Structure formats: C-alpha cells, structure tokens
Structure 1
Amino acid sequence: MKRIFKFIEKYFFIIILLAVAVSLVYPNSFQWVLGEYNGINMLNLLLSIVLFTMGTTLKANDFANVFKNPKEIGVGISAQYVIMPLIAFALARVFSLNDALTVGLVLVGTVPGGTASDVITFLSKGDVALSVSLTAVSTVISPVLTPIITLILIGNQIHFSPVDMFISILEIVIIPIVLGLILNYKFPDFCEKLKDYLPAISSIVVCLIVAGVIGANKQAILTSSAIIILVIILQYFIAMILGFGVGYLAGMGKKQIITVAIELAFQNSGLSTGLAKTHFPSLSQATVPGALYSVWQNFAGSLLAYVFRKYV
C-alpha cells in the first residue's frame, strides 16, 4: 500500500495531466467537485482536506523559525505578497484579459504559497525548513492579506466583499490547519506515520479539484486557451526569476535563494480556485487560471527540480 502512495507522490505531475485529459474528454465526470452535498460545498471541503493534511505535518518549531531566520522569512513573505500579486495584475493588463480571467489570475497571485513548494524544495536540494516556515507563515496571515491585496488591485472594477473572503479563508484554511496542528500535538507518533501517505492524498485531492474546474470550463478553456496558458507560464517563470533576484540581492546563500524562488512561484492555486467560485459566482471563468496554474506549476516544478539538483 505504501508503495502505491509513494508512486502517486512521485509521479503527481503525470497523474494531474491524466486527470486533465479525462476531464476534457468526459467533462461531466468531475461535475460533483463544484457542486454541493447536503449543503456542503464540495470544493471547499476538498481544499480543507489539503490544508488539514498540511496542519498535521506542522509543529511549533516551524513558526519558531520566523525568529531564528527573520531576514529570510521577511524577504520571502514580502516577495510573496508584493511581487506575485503585481506580476498577476500586470500580466492581466498587458494581455487585456476579461474580468473573469483577471480575477482568477489576481487571486493566484494573492493567495499564500502552496504546500507543493516544500516537496519541490526538497527535490531541488534547497532549504526545506525555510520553505516549510514560509508556507506556514504565508498561509496563517493569508486571511488578512489576500482580501486586502485583492481589494486594492481589482476592487475598483469588480465588486466583492473582502470581509466575506476573510471569513472564507478562516473556514477553508485556518480551522483545518489548527485542527491538524492539534492532532499532531496530541498524537505525534500517529501523524509521523501518516507522513508516508498524506502527500499522495493531497495530490489526489488537487487532481480532483483541477479536473472538476477544467471539466466545467472546457469550452471556455478551449476557446481562450492559447492566451491564458501563455499568461500562466509567464506568471510562473517571471516569479521564479524575480525570486532568484530577490534572494541574491538580499545576500542569501544558494539553498535559500532556490527556496525563495520556488516559494514565490508555487501558489495555493486550489485556494484561489475556491475563492473565485465562492466570491465571484457570476464570473465562471475566474476559476480557470487557478486550475491551469496548478497543472503548470507541478509539471514545470518537477522538471526544474531536476535541473536545480543537477546543475545549480
């Protein structure tokens, strides 16, 4: 059984591509992902599962690292919530994206870092402890910063409630993480055993989310795929390049520079998809950038990890 889970974790980027292919051929197969069951929003539930698994891997020491490495943490978090949102907003303007795609792209930029960054950092021989700390801290402060930055960037052209978004992030992100932390604190040995299975479980959940969103927006993706895919690829690589630049200018070591670059480029795209669906229901295409970004960041990240490990 453990081998199966390790296989899923190792070849996640292939599995997510297969999920995308299935969702395009049989778009109704994953329709339930965007629906409700007994009044429960299935997309938000799936996101909560991913964040709960993240919580079970965290300990108080991960947050204590903020005080041990204040410069690296400060630089990484500042880049996360300044550079990434500006990249998204600038690309939306340069390519004249419609309101829905602009919302989706900006949300990809304003959400916290994704948990996949920790795995890619490990594979790239970066600073895993720093990556975990950056992911944890950016996630914990996201209920405040994500709504505020989103409001600043698009609030004058697209109406939404930042307070409602704050509450959503608390429900989807903070509560599951806290529950995971409590479980890890009370039953550390049990959570240690779970570590062999949780990455694969999170990977499967992310695949379901991506497949559900892409299946529901099949026609929109096929008609506007060239531009939005180009924008997603640019967003990823610009973030990666600027991450290297920021780390270098801050005087970090090679491992820390790699880590900051990966952390900046890897986003919690599933969360951006959930927020788009919840807070911009009239803009169905707003969920598309998050889904596409999830596919691309995991595919490109796996390839870049090989390059970093071998040549950097």
Structure 2
Amino acid sequence: MKVLEKISTFAGNSFAFWVILFGALSFFFPGGFTWIAPYIALLLGIIMFGMGLTLSLDDFKRVFKAPKVVLAGVVMQYTIMPLLAYGLATLFQLPPEVAVGVILVGCCPGGTASNVMTFLAKGNTALSVSVTAVSTVLAPILTPALTLLFASHWLPVSAGSMFLSIVKIVLVPIALGIVIRLLFQKQVEKSIKVLPLVSVIGIVAVASAVVALNTENIATTGLLIFSVVVLHNVLGLLIGFLVARLFKFDFADQKALSIEVGMQNSGLGSTLAVAHFAPITAVPSAIFSVWHNISGPILATWWGKQHETSGKAGEDNKKVV
C-alpha cells in the first residue's frame, strides 16, 4: 500500500506532465487512444466516486457555519466563468461547436484539483472543499440551465438530457462514495491516499481520448482554442480574487475563492461535450485540463512562498520587539 501511496503522490504532483505527454501521444498516434471514447462517462463516474470518498458531512455543514463566504464562492463559480466564456466566444467569433465547448466548461462546477492547489497556496482548504462540494451537488441543475442560457445562441441545447447525464455520472457516484465512507470509514481512510492516482489516470485517459478524436480540428484551430482557454482561466483566477477582495474576505479565503473560480471540472465538460454535442466541442475542456494544471501550480507555489516569506518576516519582527 505504501508503494501505491508514493506512486499516487508522484502522479498527483506531476499531473500536468502526464496530461501533456499523453495529449501529445494521442495527437500523433490517435489510433491508440480512440478506443477510450466509449468509456469516458464511466471514467468520470469513477473519478466522482473517488471525490465522494474524500467528502464528509462536515464539508456540507460548513455551509451553515460560514454561509456568506461559501455562498459567495458558489455564486462566483456559476457567474464569473459562464459570463467570461460567453464574452470570449463572442469576442473571438468562435465556430459554433467550439463556442459551445468553451461555454460548457465555463458552466461546470469547480474541480477537485482546486482543493489541492488551495492547500499548496496556503489558502482556506476547508472553504475550497465546501465550495467544490456544494457547486458539484448543484451542477445537475445549474450546468444545463446556464449552458442553455448562454450556448443556445450557437447550437440547440437539451438541458433535460444534460441534467440526467450529470445525475448519473456525477451525483450518484458522489452520493455512493459519501455513503461508503460513512459505513466503512476506517477502510476508506487507509486507501484515500491512493485516490489521486485514480483521478490522474481517469482524467489523462479522458483528455487523450478527446484529443485523439479531434486531431484534424486541433491542427487547424488548436492555437485559437488554446488562447481562449488561457484567457478564460487567467481572467477567472484574477476576477475571482478581486471579487473576494471586494467582499473583504481574509487573504486565505481570497486565495481559495480565486482558485475555486478559475479551475473547472474539465472532465465533466469533456464528458458532456462528447455525449451531447460534436467531438470538437470537447476540445476546450481537454485543453483546459492541461492548462489549469499548469497555471494552478504556478499560482499556488507563488502564494505558498509569499506565505512562508511573510511568516518568517513576522517571526523576525517578533524577535526584534
């Protein structure tokens, strides 16, 4: 088990590398990865089950302990990123399928990677986990509704079908994971450190399948999509931070909400895109999966070092006094 834990930790720390490596491999050798496509929904279900195993009832109780900041995080999640996505799709005059893909990932809840990044940034990890949990539970209603609102300008959107998909591949696995943790807490606690490995394998497989299905589209529009995805993510991080600062939340909360807003559940975006739209619609989510796992660690490392520097400065001041 310890060997698996070490492998899992290594996989989690080098996640961006594996996404980029297998993304490149699937681009140049698509035949080796297209077989994964029929299993995308299953893979996301496994990832969401793992997320459920990491959650506890306390993560939801925190909503009542600190309702203002949690509610602010959820509202920011479901307003900033969808509006940015719509604005960028309009500004860059994206092709309909690509525009819907950008909007779809913008309407998804935060991903579990945001919790790890918040921890590394010395932010309020408990807040990050709570916002992720609540926004994910609300996803079956809000993600289809917002996608219908913003994306129907480009393509027909079946909000009802998306609702059922999210319930099956997100809500049910998460609920099952929470129940199993409640029933077998000791056993789950022993194996929980292996879960990052499962998540990495699942998300890398999903991203690779999406790239393999869209090699020609990526070759022609990849740079444009990448530029939009980078802007979407960076602006989300920045605006999330500024809004949290405007509300005068403490700095740890500001960091948590910034990362929570900027990092999306791109695996869900890819799955919904493949299930309900053309394959190219999943490309923005796949690229987002790569990019936010580059920008997130960079920001988290910078904030983490700032925290250490300010902590040492505080200790030095105490010594002087």
Q: TM-score, normalised by structure 2?
A: 0.93
Q: Does 1:230 align with 2:233?
A: no
**Distance apart, 1:12 and its partner CA:** 1.1
Q: In structure 1, give the amino acid aligned to 2:9.
A: K
Q: Does 1:85 align with 2:49?
A: no
Q: Does 1:128 align with 2:125?
A: yes
Aligned to 2:299: 304
Listed one character per residue, the Cα deviations across residues 134-153 of structure 1 (whole Å, up to 9, x for unaligned) are: 00000000101111111111
Aligned to 1:161: 158
The answer to whether the Cα contact below 8 Å between 1:151 and 1:162 also exists between their aligned partners in 2 is yes
Pairs within 5 Å for 1:177-188: 177-188=174-185
**Distance apart, 1:156 and its partner CA:** 4.0
Aligned to 1:219: 216
Larger radius of gyration: 2
Aligned to 1:4: 7
The answer to whether the Cα contact below 8 Å between 1:269 and 1:290 also exists between their aligned partners in 2 is yes
Unaligned stretches of 5+ residues in structure 1: 36-41
**99, 104, 109: which one aligns with 2:106:** 109
In 1: Cα distance, 2:254 partner to 2:208 partner: 33
Pairs within 5 Å for 1:188-203: 188-203=185-200
Aligned to 1:137: 134
Aligned to 2:311: none
In 2: Cα distance, 1:15 partner to 1:279 partner: 27
Does the residue aligned with 1:272 lie in a helix, a strand or coil? helix
In 1: Cα distance, 2:60 partner to 2:279 partner: 37
**Distance apart, 1:199 and its partner CA:** 1.1
Q: Does 1:171 align with 2:168?
A: yes
The answer to whether the Cα contact below 8 Å between 1:28 and 1:216 also exists between their aligned partners in 2 is no
The answer to whether the Cα contact below 8 Å between 2:151 and 2:157 also exists between their aligned partners in 1 is no
Structure with more helix by fraction: 2
Does the residue aligned with 2:100 lie in a helix, a strand or coil? helix
The answer to whether the Cα contact below 8 Å between 1:106 and 1:150 also exists between their aligned partners in 2 is yes
The answer to whether the Cα contact below 8 Å between 2:46 and 2:173 also exists between their aligned partners in 1 is yes
The answer to whether the Cα contact below 8 Å between 1:232 and 1:292 also exists between their aligned partners in 2 is yes
The answer to whether the Cα contact below 8 Å between 1:13 and 1:302 also exists between their aligned partners in 2 is no
In 2: Cα distance, 1:144 partner to 1:183 partner: 25
Q: In structure 2, give the amino acid aligned to 1:289.
A: P
**228, 236, 243: which one aligns with 1:239:** 236
In 2: Cα distance, 1:225 partner to 1:311 partner: 35
- Residues matched between the structures, number: 304
Aligned to 1:96: 93
Q: In structure 2, give the amino acid aligned to 1:86.
A: L
Q: In structure 2, give the amino acid aligned to 1:140.
A: V
Aligned to 1:25: 28
Listed one character per residue, the Cα deviations across residues 18-54 of structure 1 (whole Å, up to 9, x for unaligned) are: 111211221111111212xxxxxx1100000110000
In 2: Cα distance, 1:156 partner to 1:309 partner: 41
Listed one character per residue, the Cα deviations across residues 149-187 of structure 1 (whole Å, up to 9, x for unaligned) are: 111112244112111111110001000001100110000
**65, 68, 76: which one aligns with 1:68:** 65
The answer to whether the Cα contact below 8 Å between 1:33 and 1:209 also exists between their aligned partners in 2 is yes
Does the residue aligned with 1:141 lie in a helix, a strand or coil? helix
Q: In structure 2, give the amino acid aligned to 1:123.
A: L
**Distance apart, 1:212 and its partner CA:** 0.8
In 2: Cα distance, 1:241 partner to 1:88 partner: 15
In 1: Cα distance, 2:65 partner to 2:127 partner: 10
Aligned to 2:313: none
In 2: Cα distance, 1:95 partner to 1:31 partner: 30
In 1: Cα distance, 2:129 partner to 2:78 partner: 17
**245, 249, 254: which one aligns with 1:248:** 245
In 1: Cα distance, 2:109 partner to 2:284 partner: 15
Q: In structure 1, give the amino acid aligned to 2:283.
A: V
**Distance apart, 1:284 and its partner CA:** 2.3
% identity of equivalent residues: 40
Aligned to 2:286: 291
RMSD: 1.0
In 2: Cα distance, 1:11 partner to 1:158 partner: 37
